[in-house]
Structure 1
């Protein structure tokens, strides 16, 4: 899970979402739950609202349509951060919509929701806060740990199933691939192979589990970086700090 910037929607789509929210607000409270589901499944809503919203979420997602919870490729559903069953009036609220893979949306997160005891959610919202303030990703193992016992970190790991099944192993493999790409990029630069550099940059930008690269960058910029990367090729840390590579990957 990484920080994601949420852009403004086109005015026409924003207006459509507001009209749908107003329709819900005008629905008697006892009927609102059932009406919400019917609206969400309405043919015109799926065509004129759901699809454009999903397109917008895919544009803001890291990598290739990465799930905004687990970071895996090819997310294909629109999830309600605060579930419809908990707050129907947020069903068509743009800041409440996130791109998610089917596994996170149905098997793990689903309708789970818990407040943080103040005015927010205990689940990390990657469009409003930096997940790495609460989550630490161990690169070698691919396992997430809460930062300093963070309640948000613990709840997010549990609810999103971040350490379930093969997910840690796939993240660990993504780290190995990233190391290889970093070294390949450095070799291409040394050889003056600009095409080879661009290919490696493309791979790094679009690899599954984009959180691995962002976690590595975060660790490389920390005061404890030398300790964190003790068992890694020394060149890797220098490459993660390389200004030319950073500029190319964030262009």
Structure 2
């Protein structure tokens, strides 16, 4: 997971979302707002204006996505679903707020679903609304799930890519996410909750990240070799673009960040220090 660079939504789409938001909030109490948000979401493209607005939402989210329109959570699968960071069934007032959207894949969006928790003290307390439970709002508190729209996930998470100890012992990476070293208890609880709820360490993801490590190392080596051979700027730019279009860009972020314990990577980066400045997430001007 990487922090997503903001790309403002165009004013026309914002106006449509604002009108839908106003309708939800005006519905009444929390239970009424939940029903209103659910109903409004089902028909969110029922008029030309709404259809155009949500087309703009999807296009903007795609342009904000990491890699080649990859899921904001797993970075493996194609992102094709508008994800509500705060579930609309629990936070109907956020159902039509642009800041609550990101692009995710079905395998991540499905399991996350309506999962929600808040930080209470040093741990996360989950809010679970069963089928016949009263429709009440979750308790106030710090949201447990890391929000890549507003937070940098790598402030909370470390990826175990392995490395070499000072005395030369090589340690293989598990390519699993772990709560970042040195976190306080509340932040550690948020990291562990995010890893679990999103299934970031499911085996298929772990293996994919391990494979991505080898791919990034090979691409980086090719870039360094071409640079040493005095390749034209256009060729180096293409190699850079190809690398940045790869899935699992968090792996590349982590091999840059942890290069001190990755001797082979460190040597390559010393020969091409500009790679440290490559932006891993796209940014852009406001849509129209």
Normalising by structure 2, report the TM-score. 0.77
- Greater fraction of residues in strand: 2
Please state how far the C-alpha of 1:24 moved relative to its aligned partner.
0.4
* Aligned mates of 2:61, 2:109 — CA distance in 1: 15
* Aligned mates of 1:233, 1:211 — CA distance in 2: 15
Confirm or deny: 8 A CA contact 1:114 1:121 kept in the other structure: yes
Q: Which residue of 1 aligns with 2:231?
A: 193
Q: Which residue of 2 aligns with 1:129?
A: 151
Please state how far the C-alpha of 1:233 moved relative to its aligned partner.
5.4
* Aligned mates of 1:138, 1:236 — CA distance in 2: 20
Confirm or deny: 8 A CA contact 1:59 1:65 kept in the other structure: yes
Confirm or deny: 8 A CA contact 1:63 1:73 kept in the other structure: no
Normalising by structure 1, report the TM-score. 0.88
Please state how far the C-alpha of 1:197 moved relative to its aligned partner.
2.1
> Which of the numbers 142, 149, 152 marks the counterpart of 2:190?
152
* 1:1-251 equivalences in 2 (<5 Å): 1-29=1-29, 30-42=31-43, 43-44=45-46, 47-106=51-110, 108-117=111-120, 119-139=141-161, 140-148=173-181, 150-194=188-232, 195-220=234-259, 225=260, 228-230=261-263, 232=264, 234-238=266-270, 242-243=273-274, 245-247=275-277
Structure 1's unaligned 5+ residue stretches are none
Please state how far the C-alpha of 1:71 moved relative to its aligned partner.
1.5
Q: Deviations over 1:176-221 (max 9, x none)?
A: 000000110011111122254233212211001111111222223x
Q: Does 145-154 or 168-177 show the bigger shift?
A: 145-154
- Greater fraction of residues in helix: 1
Task: Point out 4+ residue stretches in structure 1 off by more than 6 angstroms.
Answer: none
Please state how far the C-alpha of 1:247 moved relative to its aligned partner.
4.6
Query: What is the count of residue pairs matched by the alignment?
Result: 241
- The higher relative CO (CA closer than 8 Å, separation ≥ 6) is in 2
* Aligned mates of 1:93, 1:249 — CA distance in 2: 27
* Aligned mates of 1:131, 1:65 — CA distance in 2: 18
